[in-house]
Chains A and B, each alone.
Chain A
Amino acid sequence: MNVIEIDNLKFSYLGQDETALEVEHLSIAEGESVLITGKSGSGKSTLIQCINGIIPHVTAGRLSGSVRLKGEDVSGMTVAGISRTVGTLLQDPERQVLNYKVIEEIAFGPENLNCNRDEIERRLHAAVDQTGIEDLMERDTDTLSGGEMQRVALTSVMAMEPEILILDEPTSNIDPEGTERIFQFLHKQKGKKTLLVVEHKVERALPFVDRIIVVDSGRIVLDIPKENMLEMVQTLLDKGIEIPEEFLYASKLGLRTADVETVRSELFRAGISLHSHARRSGGGDILEAYSTVRVPGRTIVDAALKARKGTIVAIMGKNGAGKSTFLNSMLGLLGKNEFTFSSTIKVDGVDISESDLSTRGTYVTYLPQSFDLMLINRTVEREVKYSMKKRRIRNDELLRTIFDVFALYEIRAADPLRLSMGQRRRVSMASILASEVRIVLMDEPTSGQDFYHKDRLGKELRMITEMGYTVIVVTHDARFVYRYADELAIMHDGKIVFQGLPEDGFEISAQYGILPPSDHFLRRNEKIVESVAI
């Protein structure tokens, strides 16, 4: 029996002429698990919002055609009514958790459904059993890590006991451990509920889906059983979807499996060795940082880091390992009332440990995760020139280079806040680099980005390091680190427990909750015989 049926659906957002989504026909059977993937802005979220009733009940626009849930047209139902059948987990946990106590958050849905106390308690225990968050029940939501918060949000959705579960990029903003727990949950739910999972991490979602739907430019361009995926690898890649290398090589070698070990041995048998990623050793040490940060009762950071000129150093670690706090201590952004801290920060031999923010800003610059908050000017051009103006610097050549590298000429007169996320990120990057400061700290710039944007970011970072910049980047994305970083620093319990080549780091990273990317396994312990173009 089909629980979701879509026919001749067409939707345009209010005030926009172009069609955001057009689906001739789509049906999803009861108990089916479907992966919906595609580039950012391709229409994936629009599709699921048509299913959970957000379109047209919350988001207005021109809608035609029909979306039926168990035979009932969504446009004739209320969102609250739909929520009895369809549960939705969003991307950003901080934006969907409303209550202060975990228990209140989970009870929120059943309370809305007017359930009595016994029924709420039953649903609460059932949901907690499924997601395994017993240890979080007594916690306050603002003390949870991103991964923990997402699992609480998921439990809250499960307490609604929906028959259809929609997860819209549920792991985009959380650490590898949190991601693993979400995927474990989905694995258990396979067959029990109808699952619609919007996800960029195709290979992680594959074990629990039956079917893959690719959305591109507002249309479903591919709808295949997962068994056929290997045959369609190139198409997926062409549509901007991140495909791990083992799938590519399995496809090229005509294998029927993408198991890493099998692909590796087949490559070896065929005499093909993969080209290693170049790691640069850079110039001399340009940054030396040592910080200790305490909160009442414990030390949360006691870490030292060095970076060489013209290199990319990636810091990885589980949520709560102290990565962002360490970064903030280097920048002098920690609040004196919340933390007790001391740090020694030397840039090119100059000690800036006691300097105020604007002085530190002449040595190190910073791209926060919420980079929108730094866009304060009315045009891109003024935004990029802001630092130069404030520091009374004139360097037209640097400006030209930055505008070129980040492709900003065409949008230089646009309002930065009205640009797409990818463009806003590029404007923010350009504006911090224009200050002529040579050390750039970045906090999770890969978070929520699709393959295309991460790839572009990696290439941009490579370009700026060739210009002499040094980049320290905090990220959860192991594949990004493997492909673009020169060094990996692993942070665990507030300490840097490893700093060195990513190849060496990923040999020990699993014990610190960081799963190495499959790219690393494919290349492990092999000599370079020849390069294979992907």
Chain B
Amino acid sequence: MNYIMDSIISWFIFLFGVAAPFYLILGAIGIGGFREITKYEAHDSFYYRLNPAIKIVFSVAVMIIASMMIWWIGAVLALGILASYASLKNGRRKVFIGSMFLISIIIGTTWSYAPLTPPSILFEALRSQNLLNLWKWPSYFAVMGYQPYLTLQGLIYGMQISFRFAAVTIAALILVMTTTPSQILKALHKLRIPDPIVFSLMVAMKSVPMVFQSLDASVKMQMLRGLGSGRRKFLKPIFLLIAGISAIVPTIVHLMRGAKDIAISADTRGFRAYNHRTYFVDIPMTRTDYYMLAVFLAGVGVAGIMLALGFGRAIPYIS
């Protein structure tokens, strides 16, 4: 009996990290929420006026700082940038969706790191020899000879790591929500990224909201056709997840059928006729862009100096 209970609890804990982010996101914001934070909407505020190249630098700077510095720097960055979502179009809604996204990243990443981080790393990272064991999985959960344990320190370490991912993701979404695909094309072209790569990115950016739109339509069709019919309301996110998984293949097929038209449309309008292309509407660098560039570079510089001086290192056990 104990063995069965152990197995049930073990599987519940194990799957929690996978299911909870989906449950949270699908239940709270739905698939439509994903679409809202992956598509550009016209508006006029600080982020929208910034040069796309500076926004790319911003994302890279956040990535460098969050990955090199101690976890709470990443946390401060993630929360700070999330708060700045309020300045976007439908700001309150964007902050809400971003928050749900942030929480799901934290749960998902924490759960993926916590059971599988070896005690030796935890001893070093958290400067503690006493691990508080919360759960021991049965032997069949062993991965390549490693027996997973869930410790309080593992959870703390996983959460610290998660803020690095969260900061980068939340910052990158600013670029997507405030810049048109063609502006990104111009910015990347100026950074001398080859046009075929830039074009792929541009098409991907155009396609991401369409992916969620198509997924949403497919999921709703399954609901209309009876999926989850007569089941209790709290189970809705689970059926949404089932429907979402079933919707992947038709969505991909639907988009792939359109992808060829996009390629034909670009090629028959001279795309890649030359190695270079001109731009009708230029995006100039303004004084604010230069100031912000200086701020981001200074941020990276300060982070480098602090690391050199031994303050706020991401990996203290290496020092």
Q: Are A373 and B254 within 8 A (Cβ)?
A: yes
Is B202 interfacial (CB-CB < 8 Å)? Answer: yes
Please tell me if the beta carbons of A81 and B268 are within 8 angstroms of each other in the complex. no
- Does B137 have its Cβ within 8 Å of any Cβ on chain A? no
Q: Flag whether A43 is at the interface (Cβ < 8 A).
A: no
Is A184 at the interface (CB under 8 A from chain B)? no
Asked if B59 CB lies within 8 Å of chain A CBs, one says: no
* In the complex, residue of chain B having the shortest beta-carbon distance to the beta carbon of A87: B268
Indicate if the CB atoms of A83 and B225 lie closer than 8 Å.
no
Q: Is B267 an interface residue (CB 8 A)?
A: yes
Q: Does A157 lie at the interface of the complex (its beta carbon under 8 Å from any beta carbon of B)?
A: yes
Count of chain B residues near A, Cβ 8 A: 57
**A100-B274 in contact given A79-B267, A111-B279, A370-B214 (Cβ < 8 Å):** no
Binary CB contact string for chain A from 97 to 122 against chain B (1 if under 8 A, 0 otherwise): 11111011001111111111100110
Most buried by A among B222, B226, B264, B277: B226
Contact between chains at B280 and A112 (CB < 8 Å):
no
Contact at A98–B266, with CB atoms within 8 Å? yes
Residues of chain A with a CB closer than 8 A to B258's CB:
92, 94-95
Q: How far is the CB of B108 from chain A (nearest CB, A)?
A: 24
Which A residues between 360 and 376 are near B, CB-CB below 8 angstroms? 360-362, 365-366, 368, 370, 372-376
CA A375 – CA B254 in complex, angstroms? Answer: 10
B261 touches A96 (CB 8 A): yes
Q: Which of B203, B228, B262 contacts A358 (CB 8 A)?
A: B228
Q: Are A335 and B221 interface neighbours, CB within 8 A?
A: no
CB atoms of A90 and B270 under 8 A apart: no
Interchain CB contact under 8 A, B42 and A357? no
Check: A387 CB closer than 8 A to any chain B CB: yes
Taking a contact as CB atoms under 8 Å apart, the answer to whether B182 and A80 are in contact is no
Interface check B10, CB cutoff 8 A: no
Q: A373-B218, A376-B247 are in contact. Are A78 and B273 (CB under 8 A)?
A: yes
Classify the secondary structure of B's interface with A. helix
Tally of contacts, chain A with chain B, CB under 8 A: 191
Which chain A positions have C-beta within 8 A of B200?
A: none
Q: A376 to B249, Cβ gap below 8 A? A: yes
Q: Does A432 contact B (CB under 8 A)?
A: yes
Q: Is B84 an interface residue (CB 8 A)?
A: no
**A452 contacts chain B at the CB level, 8 A cutoff:** no
B214 & A373 in contact (Cβ 8 Å cutoff)? yes
Within the assembled complex, what's the spacing in Å between the Cα atoms of A356 and B224? 9
Chain A nearest Cβ from B19, distance in angstroms: 21
List chain B residues, Cβ under 8 A from A115.
Answer: 278
A-facing residues in B1-55 (Cβ within 8 Å): 32, 36, 40, 42
A112 touches B270 (CB 8 A): yes
Query: What separation, in Å, do the CA atoms of A97 and B264 have in the docked complex?
Result: 11
CB pair A357 B220 closer than 8 Å: yes
Report Cα–Cα, A111/B225, bound state, in Å: 47
CA of A291 to CA of B227, assembled, Å: 26
Cα distance A74–B202 in the bound complex, in angstroms: 29
Other-chain contact of B226, A120, A157, A358, A372 (Cβ < 8 Å): A358
Q: Which of B224, B227, B263, B273 has the most CB of A within 10 A?
A: B224
B227 touches A390 (CB 8 A): yes
A114 and B273 contact, Cβ closer than 8 Å, known pairs A100-B181, A361-B229: yes
Which residues of chain B are within 8 angstroms of A335 by Cβ–Cβ distance? 32
**Interchain CB contact under 8 A, B226 and A361:** yes
Decide yes or no: A157 and B269 within 8 Å by CB, A58-B263, A358-B229 being known contacts. yes
Interface check A431, CB cutoff 8 A: yes
Chain A residues lying within 8 Å of B261, measured Cβ to Cβ, are 90, 92, 95-96
Chain B neighbourhood of A112, CB < 8 A: 269-274, 277
Which residue of B has the minimal Cβ distance to A441?
A: B224
Q: Which A-chain residue is minimally distant from B183 (CB atoms)?
A: A100
Chain B, Cβ-Cβ closest to A361:
B224
Tell me which residues across on chain A come within 8 A of B250, comparing CB atoms.
372-376, 417
| Known A79-B268, A96-B262, A368-B217; contact A120-B228, beta-carbon cutoff 8 A | no
Q: Which of B32, B224, B272 contacts A366 (CB 8 A)?
A: B224
Chain B contacts of A99 at CB under 8 A? 180-182
**Once the chains bind, are A117 and B270 in contact (CB under 8 Å)?**
no
Interface residues of B in 223-263 (CB under 8 A from A): 223-230, 246-247, 249-251, 253-254, 257-258, 260-263
Most buried by A among B225, B263, B281: B225
In the assembled complex, which residues on chain A have CB atoms less than 8 Å from the CB atom of B206?
Answer: 98
Most buried by A among B182, B217, B261, B281: B182
Interface residue? B288 (CB, 8 A): no
Q: Are A124 and B272 in contact, with the CB atoms below 8 A?
A: no
Does the CB pair B268–A86 fall under 8 Å?
yes
- The answer to whether A98 touches B181 (Cβ under 8 A) is yes
Interface membership of B133, Cβ < 8 A: no
Q: How far is the CA of A323 from the CA of B265 in the complex (A)?
A: 29
Instruction: Specify the chain B residue showing the minimal Cβ separation from A365.
Output: B224
Chain A CB within 8 A of B276 CB? yes
A373 touches B280 (CB 8 A): no
Interface string of A136-157 (1 = CB under 8 A from B): 0000100000000000010011
CB-CB nearest 6 A-B residue pairs = A390-B226, A96-B265, A80-B273, A100-B180, A112-B270, A109-B269
A-B contact pairs, 19 of them (CB 8 A): A54-B267, A92-B261, A95-B261, A96-B261, A99-B182, A100-B183, A104-B182, A104-B280, A111-B277, A112-B271, A117-B280, A157-B269, A358-B226, A358-B230, A362-B229, A365-B225, A366-B224, A373-B217, A435-B226
* A interface residues (Cβ-Cβ under 8 A, vs B): 52, 54, 57-58, 78-84, 86-88, 90, 92, 94-101, 103-104, 107-117, 120-121, 124, 140, 153, 156-157, 160, 331, 333, 335, 337, 356-362, 365-366, 368, 370, 372-376, 386-387, 389-391, 417, 431-432, 435
Q: What 13 additional pairs, Cβ within 8 angstroms, besides A58-B260, A113-B274, A337-B93?
A: A58-B267, A96-B264, A99-B181, A101-B180, A103-B281, A111-B280, A112-B273, A114-B276, A359-B229, A372-B253, A375-B250, A386-B226, A417-B253
| B interface residues with partner A (beta carbon < 8 Å) | 32, 36, 40, 42, 90, 93, 180-183, 202-203, 206, 214, 217-218, 220-230, 246-247, 249-251, 253-254, 257-258, 260-274, 276-281
